[in-house]
Every structure is written in structure tokens, then in C-alpha cells.
Amino acid sequence: GGKMFYSIPEHQLPKEILNKEIKTITDLGVTIHTSCQVQSVQTLFKQGYDSVLLSTGVLGVDEGLLLPCDETAKSDLIKGSDFLKGIKSTTKETLGDKVIVIGGGSEAYNSAFAAKNLGVSEVNLVCSRHTGSKEASPEEVDRAIDAGVTVQPSLDFVKLVKLNDKIEGVELFRIRSYGYDKENKLHYEIINDTRRLISADTIITTVAQNDKPGSDYLSVVQPGVFAAGDGISGARSVIEAMAAGRSVAGLIDKYLGGEGNLDETLAPPEKTIKPLGEPKGQNRSQVELNLVKQAGGDKVEIEKTLSPNAAKKEAQRCLRCDIVHQVHDYSLDTSSCTYCGRCVDACYWDAITNGYGYEAAAKKRKAEAAALEEKNSVYNYAIRILPIAIGLMILAAAIAKLST
């Protein structure tokens, strides 16, 4: 509860509620030791513990929580040392258009730079946290990035993808928790909507088999050690932290001989509700606002929670915009979009995305509006000058008639 207790403001997470939650945990028999420094999981095993969970949070990212890397297809990978030794006889044609380098040390960045220098159009470096070998210098990192190497986030889990016994690329995703069972088999839970596939013609690895931290390292490289939370997934929400704790608790329970199933029925199952044919429109329940004084002295508006009656009314309100409004045709004024992303968050059906294509459409719309305005200005100018031209023609005709 350190991050929740000291970093989240009182009006967002009251300390009274947090203390009650912590007391519920201690009442179950959990003993909390504070002001303790643990530098080795082996020390804990020697004290008689059967399992260890590392949940150091964001501040523990650089303290040794190295993500594992799938090693099921090592035979199809090119070793970084072999690649650099044979660089003189290597050509772009032998590597292909897309190259992935696995690793985060000096050898990885040098291999990525060498591949880019050969003319490879796309080079991605994954597993960018330094693991084994020699650590990359700032000059090596800058040189590779300046050459056009794309460095993927260090918290991405890397899994090799094969098709018909041939390496096709790597799949990157964030994991909520992971650990090894008694057979040293890796288990993990993937966070939804974080999967990304990077295709490759050639994959170079600089992670050797012996690139594992020593016994004095906080690492998840042996049975009985698990990891979860922001330390492996990056900074996320309190809800995600709770989900990570529940996920890794199942893994630990299974490791210790249980079934690993910690599902609970906290509410009766909902009955299937048929879609409303013609739902009645209801206004959104108003949320009460309070003025809260910040540390600097400024006051900000903070939303309070809904009352029980308002919450029930809000839960009954239909949010199915596709049913309430029978949309047959629509148009978007992209020129008025400020790219705040609130419509993306609000859309229940994930039907709206905010990307570069949308921004390009907005620029196109603005250009079209400017062209139309210019065209209209020419037309308006012609309309204004036309009566003058007609008047001059009549005057010229009258003068010619008088002269004759």
C-alpha cells in the first residue's frame, strides 16, 4: 500500500478505506514487515519460505526484475557474435528487409546498427533492458537510434512466432504476472489489448543461455519465484494492481499444490436482457461537485460519488446509441477536433479510434474548406463587380447613340 497510501490524494482514495482494506489482510494472518531490505531471494528460501513474490512496483523496474524471453526456437536464430564476426560477407539480401535484434547490451545495439548500415529498411531492437554481456554505452545507443533503429519498450514480453517451422517474427505484449512451476515451465497472464506482432525476415539474438543473474539478484529465473504489478507491466491503475495480485496468487496457489482457482461469486449472475426496441431517453444523473484545496492553495472541483438512488437510475439508463438513434448517414467535422481522446474513452463499443489517419483527415478537411472559401471569394467578387460592368456597358451604349 505504499504507492496508494503516499501518492494518491485523499479525495481520490481515502486513507480510512485503505487502512480498513489493509486490516482485512492482516486479520487473515498476514504479517507485514517494514523497513526491511531484501537483496536475494535465496535468503528468503533459506529462512523456510516455499515461494517468493516480487512486487516492487515502478521503482523496482531498474532493480533487477528482468523479463524472461521465449527460448523455444534458438536454433532458428542468428547469434549476435556470429553476425558481427561475419559482417563483411553479409549483405542486405541475406538479411531481408526486416530484422529484429533481441537483447539490450552493447552487442545488441552494435548488431542493430550494423544491420541498418547494410541497408536493411526496418530494424527493431526488442528486450531492450540490459541482460548479460557488456552494457551498451550512450554513444552506441545514440548511434543506433540515429541510424533509424527502432527500440521497443523494455517492459514488453517477447515471444517468438513460428509458422510452418519457420520464424515469422516476434509477438510483444505486456504481462500482468508470471512465474515458474516446479518443472521450471514458465506461466504468465497477458494484459488485454497489449499484443503487437512485429514481422521479420531475420532474427538476431544477443541473449546467451548463461545470461542469468546470480543468486544475489532479485530475478524470476527459478521455480517458486513469481513477479507481478507495475514492476513488470509499467505504471497502471489500482484496479490493474488488484488484478495482478489475484492473478499471481492463483499461480502461487497452484505451485504450492492447490488448484490455482481463486474465483469468487461476489454477486448473483445477471439475467440475459433483451435489447430494447424503443428505449426511453433519460438524462444522465448529475454528479455533485466539491471544491478541494490543493497543496499550492488553489481550489479544484472534485466529483463525488452518486447517491444510491442516482446510481440505480444511471444503471438503468440505456447507453446503446445505435438503438436510440437510428443513424442512416452521418458526417464528421474533423476540423473542429482537438484530439483530446474523450470520445474514444466514452464509446462503449470501441468504435472510435484517434490516430494519424484521423489527423490527416482533419488537415484535408481544413484544406478543402480553405479552397472552398477561396472559390467563394472569387464568386462573390464577380457578383459585386457584375452590376458595375453592366452599368458601364449601358453608359457606353448611351454615349454612342448620342454621338450618332
Cβ neighbour number for residue 123 with a 10 Å cutoff: 27
- Residue identified by cell 472510435 is 352
Three-state DSSP state, 57: coil
Q: What is the pLDDT of residues 84-100, one digit of tens each?
A: 888 888 888 888 899 99
Confidence at residue 386, expressed as pLDDT on a 0 to 100 scale: 85
Is residue 190 within 8 Å of 175, Cβ to Cβ? yes
- Superfamily grouping for domain 74-216: FAD/NAD(P)-binding domain (3.50.50.60)
Query: Which of these ranges, 325-329, 337-341, 388-392, has the smallest mean pLDDT?
Result: 325-329
Q: Residue 328's pLDDT band (boundaries 50, 70, 90)?
A: low
Q: What is the pLDDT of residues 269-314, one digit of tens each?
A: 877 666 555 555 667 777 788 877 776 677 777 777 888 888 888 8
Three-state DSSP state, 252: helix
Query: Which of these ranges, 34-48, 51-65, 169-183, has the smallest mean pLDDT?
Result: 51-65
Please indicate whether residue 347 or residue 238 has the higher confidence score (pLDDT): 238
Q: Which three cell numbers stand for residue 68?
A: 524472461
Q: For residue 313, count CB atoms less than 10 angstroms from its CB and return exposed for 0-12, middle for 13-18, buried for 19 or more.
A: middle
- Residue identified by cell 545507443 is 141
Query: Which of these ranges, 25-34, 184-193, 320-329, 338-347, has the smallest mean pLDDT?
Result: 320-329
Q: For residue 264, count CB atoms less than 10 angstroms from its CB and return exposed for 0-12, middle for 13-18, buried for 19 or more.
A: exposed
Confidence at residue 362, expressed as pLDDT on a 0 to 100 scale: 64
Return the amino acid letter for 357: G
Mean pLDDT taken over the chain: 76
- Residue identified by cell 532479485 is 218
Q: What is the pLDDT of residues 3-27, one digit of tens each?
A: 787 777 787 788 888 899 889 999 9
- Ranked by mean pLDDT, the top range of 101-105, 107-111, 299-303, 364-368 is 107-111
Is residue 282 within 8 Å of 289, Cβ to Cβ? no
Please indicate whether residue 73 or residue 377 has the higher confidence score (pLDDT): 377
Angle at 192 between CA 189 and CA 195, to 5 degrees: 90
Distance of CA 71 to the CA centre of its chain: 25
Q: What is the pLDDT of residues 140-196, one digit of tens each?
A: 888 999 999 998 876 667 777 777 777 788 888 777 777 767 776 777 777 777 788
pTM given for the model:
0.47
Angle at 233 between CA 149 and CA 23, to 5 degrees: 160
Return the amino acid letter for 366: K
Q: Residue 229's pLDDT band (boundaries 50, 70, 90)?
A: confident
